[in-house]
């Protein structure tokens, strides 16, 4: 999951993208809520794997949309100042069954602090997500990037913990209790284990928690950021993104930022391993930012977001590849931002987030398509 999270971190990336400029003429700003085209105008001609593409949200920053286990609902995070949402809150919405049926999400988090990385539990009666609300009712401050050369910096809020809530938004259980950053949680296919990122041992590592008894085990052990991890649909593998410093200068900078609860993962590659963390392998060597990876329904192929084709750092597009990193195929073609791809449990639909059709604004919205293999 990224997350590119923080302001959320992925939002910071988009802000940086627009500060640098894009290849498109932004022209006059148009409210995204006024732009609701028919489904045949949303996909680019080259996007042959996407059919019946539909835009579900209109306005604000909507990201990290993930299916419920029955494929009928989505959970996602949203920031939209115009609607009084100053930083990410968690929403759920039932996926429309008919073309003329609207998508009507509702708030599931507390409305306090900042949230990230939501997921439905297997029983369909609860959700998990990370939140800073116990630290403060207010949105946590974003870092002053001018101190770091206006680079892409993510804050690692120590007040992030992971919570279990019912579908009325009532928090049932606090799942993490250790000091430091706990976030980026996903669940195993059987719903029994939670995979997440934490700084509890002094670095950004992956952990697996048994939800029945709370027993937690660290499964990565290499210096650097490990995050946004998912189980494969068959439960045998995990996939994640990692930013690993290698030179003395990179290691020094990484540790200095980490001491300030910050990380600057502008270079990330995709890793896979067995579900217990063993036999970890880096499967991309593309350079730049390769992230938001997930296994496809066959548990062999992979879909992810990347900007590796573009030296300027954008656009971000979606790509698929085999489990060993071979047979790279470009899926999406937007000139801004396509990311957070995730398949429905039955493998028939793909949800992702994109800047397309935002009327020249910076809005990121949620899109749903039938998948054509």
The residues, any chain, with a CB within 8 Å of residue 74's CB and separated by 6 or more, are: 56, 65, 66, 67, 68, 92, 93, 95, 105, 351, 366
Lowest mean pLDDT among 34-38, 95-99, 281-285, 320-324: 34-38
Is 1's pLDDT higher than 90?
no
Higher pLDDT, 10 or 371: 371
Is 338's pLDDT higher than 70?
yes
Q: Where does the pLDDT of residue 181 fall: very low under 50, low under 70, confident under 90, or very high at 90 and above?
A: very high
Partners of residue 281 on adjacent β-strands: 272
- pLDDT at 12 (0 to 100): 53
Is 232's pLDDT higher than 90?
yes
- What average pLDDT does the segment 22-49 reach? 56
Q: How far apart are CA 339 and CA 355, in angstroms?
A: 9
pLDDT in tens, 106-124: 999 999 999 999 999 999 9
Is 104's pLDDT higher than 60?
yes
- pLDDT at 18 (0 to 100): 43
Q: Where does the pLDDT of residue 43 fall: very low under 50, low under 70, confident under 90, or very high at 90 and above?
A: very high
Q: Where does the pLDDT of residue 76 fall: very low under 50, low under 70, confident under 90, or very high at 90 and above?
A: very high
Determine the 3-state secondary structure of 13 from DSSP: helix
Given a contact cutoff of 8 angstroms between Cβ atoms, the answer to whether 31 and 328 are in contact is: no
Q: Where does the pLDDT of residue 313 fall: very low under 50, low under 70, confident under 90, or very high at 90 and above?
A: confident
331 conformational bin, left if phi > 0, alpha if psi -120 to 50, beta if neither: alpha
Partners of residue 241 on adjacent β-strands: 227, 270
Strands 329-330 and 317-321: antiparallel
Q: How much is the pTM?
A: 0.91
Higher pLDDT, 150 or 25: 150
| CATH class of the domain defined by 9-371 | mainly beta
Given a contact cutoff of 8 angstroms between Cβ atoms, the answer to whether 62 and 78 are in contact is: yes
Lowest mean pLDDT among 75-84, 144-153, 203-212, 263-272: 144-153
Q: Where does the pLDDT of residue 40 fall: very low under 50, low under 70, confident under 90, or very high at 90 and above?
A: low
- pLDDT at 134 (0 to 100): 98
Q: Where does the pLDDT of residue 9 fall: very low under 50, low under 70, confident under 90, or very high at 90 and above?
A: low
């Amino acid at each position: 999951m990224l997350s590119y999270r923080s302001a959320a971190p992925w939002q910071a990336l988009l802000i940086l993208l627009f500060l640098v400029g894009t290849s498109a003429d932004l022209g006059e700003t148009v409210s995204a809520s006024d732009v609701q085209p028919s489904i045949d105008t949303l996909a680019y001609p080259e996007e042959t794997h996407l059919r019946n593409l539909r835009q579900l949200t209109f306005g604000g920053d909507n990201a990290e949309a993930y299916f419920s286990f029955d494929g009928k609902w989505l959970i996602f995070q949203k920031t939209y100042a115009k609607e009084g949402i100053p930083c990410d809150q968690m929403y759920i919405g039932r996926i429309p069954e008919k073309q003329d049926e609207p998508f009507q999400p509702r708030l599931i988090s507390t409305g306090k602090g900042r949230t990230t990385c939501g997921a439905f539990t297997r029983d369909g009666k609860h959700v998990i997500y990370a939140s800073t609300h116990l630290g403060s009712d207010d949105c946590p401050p974003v870092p002053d990037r001018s101190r770091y050369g206006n680079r892409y910096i993510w804050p690692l809020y120590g007040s992030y913990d992971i919570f279990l809530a019912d579908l009325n938004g009532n928090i049932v259980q606090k799942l993490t209790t250790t000091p430091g950053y706990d976030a980026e949680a996903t669940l195993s296919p059987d719903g029994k284990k939670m995979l997440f990122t934490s700084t509890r041992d002094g670095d950004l590592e992956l952990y697996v928690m048994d939800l029945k008894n709370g027993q937690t085990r660290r499964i990565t052990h290499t210096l650097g950021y490990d995050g946004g991890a998912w189980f494969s649909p068959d439960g045998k593998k995990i996939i994640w993104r990692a930013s690993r410093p290698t030179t003395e200068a990179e290691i020094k900078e990484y540790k200095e930022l980490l001491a300030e609860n910050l990380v600057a993962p502008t270079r990330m590659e995709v890793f896979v391993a067995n579900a217990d963390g063993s036999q970890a392998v880096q499967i991309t060597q593309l350079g730049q930012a390769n992230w938001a990876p997930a296994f496809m329904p066959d548990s062999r192929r992979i879909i992810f977001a990347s900007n590796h084709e573009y030296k300027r750092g954008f656009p971000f597009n979606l790509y698929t590849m085999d489990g060993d990193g071979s047979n790279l195929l470009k899926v999406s073609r937007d000139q801004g931002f396509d990311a957070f791809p995730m398949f429905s449990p039955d493998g028939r639909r793909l949800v992702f987030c994109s800047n397309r059709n935002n009327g020249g604004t910076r809005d990121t919205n949620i899109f749903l398509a039938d998948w054509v293999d």
